[in-house]
């Protein structure tokens, strides 16, 4: 099948845009649903992904007209788009520092959950969203390099991506599952639109007040440690994705963020207990 594709979902983040388009209605619908809130500010189109279909089980993905991968399944297409597209947006930003972090908001108080894969930030983001916080992202935030606007952050407001164990919980908790908003994969992982957890969940920007470095460890005792600004800076720099795009490697803007927030490290195994403590902390302002 050879279809000229001119439309598609534009995904904006950190001053740049990627486009996902397809001749397959199922792919298009999934992309529309799970990147619906990635609206942000328009920026240059840095990557144009096209998905073409040979048949229902054979998809090909190209970027800017060059073949990227072929003979992949429907699920693999979606994961490639999620990973490749976001990596493009993260690495290209020259207007904002991009950190591996989830972010939420309670009124004017922003919360950053900073950490790499497996730290539990997506699971915590899901629980906190379901408990009434507003959702910015479960994956990456952008911090403008300019100190204007009070250091407001924005997030890549994709669907929340949960791994098998965490997705299983939500599969059973969500009473009114929309078939489109809850997308479960064969490996047990799931994508959940934030509005499925909380109808008024989505937030574009917020000024961060609390910064938490979560660490999920099975069977671990719940523990919290207040961090000094230097400890927060040290940890933030380890989660900075696009440092090389800036003359000072993001040091000055990251330092401003470290000074601006109250920072903690949090070790937990019981997510309800961790969520409760985080809510108390962020609502206290």
Partner 1 sequence: MIVPTPVDGFQIETLEGEIVLLHPTRNLIIHGNQTGTLIWQLCDGTRTLDEIVEILSAAYPEARAEIQVNVPAIIQTLVSRGALKTK
* Range in contact with partner 1 (rule: CB under 8 A) among 11-19, 47-55, 93-101, 228-236: 228-236
Among 118, 238, 272, 285, the residue binding partner 1 under the rule CB under 8 A is 238
Nearest CA to 245 out of 93, 41, 81, 90 is that of 93
Residue 87 interacts with partner 1 (CB under 8 A): yes or no:
no
Strands 16-22 and 153-155: unpaired
Q: Which two tokens stand for residue 160?
A: 């929340």
Residue 30 interacts with partner 1 (CB under 8 A): yes or no:
no
For the CA atoms of 146, 159, 28, 182, the dihedral, rounded to the nearest 10 degrees, stands at: -170
Within residues 175-194, the interface with partner 1 by CB under 8 A covers none
Residue (83 or 252) nearer to partner 1, CB: 252
Residue (259 or 273) nearer to partner 1, CB: 259
Site string for partner 1, 254-283 (x = CB under 8 A): -x--xx------------------------
Residue 231 interacts with partner 1 (CB under 8 A): yes or no:
yes
Among 251, 269, 271, 276, the residue binding partner 1 under the rule CB under 8 A is 251
Residue (205 or 235) nearer to partner 1, CB: 235
* Range in contact with partner 1 (rule: CB under 8 A) among 5-13, 80-88, 99-107, 227-235: 227-235
Q: Which two tokens stand for residue 280?
A: 């108390």
DSSP state string for 211-266: EEEEEE-TTPPPEEEEE-HHHHHHHHHHTBS-GGGSTTTTHHHHHHHHHHSEEEEE
- Read off φ and ψ for residue 108, nearest 5 degrees: -95, 10
- Read off φ and ψ for residue 99, nearest 5 degrees: -120, 145
- Read off φ and ψ for residue 98, nearest 5 degrees: -110, 125
Residue 249 interacts with partner 1 (CB under 8 A): yes or no:
yes
* Range in contact with partner 1 (rule: CB under 8 A) among 26-34, 85-93, 108-116, 251-259: 251-259
Residue (38 or 236) nearer to partner 1, CB: 236
* Range in contact with partner 1 (rule: CB under 8 A) among 31-39, 128-136, 170-178, 245-253: 245-253
DSSP state string for 82-145: IIIIHHHHHHH-SSEEEEEEEEEEETTEEEEEE--TTSSHHHHHHHHHHTTPEEEESSEEEEES
Q: Which residues bind partner 1 (CB under 8 A)?
A: 228-231, 233-234, 237-238, 243-244, 248-249, 251, 255, 258-259
């Amino acid at each position: 099948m050879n279809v000229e594709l001119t439309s598609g979902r534009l995904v904006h983040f950190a001053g740049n845009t990627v486009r996902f388009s397809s001749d397959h209605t199922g792919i298009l619908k999934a992309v529309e649903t799970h990147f619906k809130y990635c609206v942000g500010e328009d920026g240059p189109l840095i990557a144009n992904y096209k998905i073409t279909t040979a048949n229902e089980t054979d998809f090909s993905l190209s970027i800017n007209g060059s073949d990227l991968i072929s003979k992949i399944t429907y699920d693999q297409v979606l994961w490639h788009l999620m990973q490749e597209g976001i990596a493009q947006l993260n690495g290209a930003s020259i207007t904002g520092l991009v950190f591996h972090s989830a972010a939420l908001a309670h009124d004017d108080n922003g919360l950053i959950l900073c950490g790499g894969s497996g730290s539990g930030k997506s699971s915590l983001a899901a629980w906190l969203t379901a408990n009434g916080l507003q959702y910015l992202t479960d994956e990456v935030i952008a911090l403008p390099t300019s100190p204007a606007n009070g250091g407001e952050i924005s997030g890549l407001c994709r669907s929340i991506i949960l791994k098998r164990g965490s997705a299983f919980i939500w599969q059973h908790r969500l009473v009114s599952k929309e078939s489109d908003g809850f997308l479960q994969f064969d490996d047990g992982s799931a994508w959940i639109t934030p509005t499925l957890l909380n109808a008024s969940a989505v937030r574009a920007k917020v000024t961060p007040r609390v910064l938490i470095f979560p660490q999920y460890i099975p069977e671990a005792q719940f523990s919290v440690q207040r961090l000094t600004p230097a400890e927060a800076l040290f940890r933030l720099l380890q989660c900075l994705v696009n440092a090389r795009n800036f003359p000072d490697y993001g040091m000055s803007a990251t330092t401003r963020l470290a000074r601006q927030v109250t920072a903690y490290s949090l070790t937990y195994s019981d997510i309800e207990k961790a969520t409760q403590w985080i809510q108390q902390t962020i609502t206290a302002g």
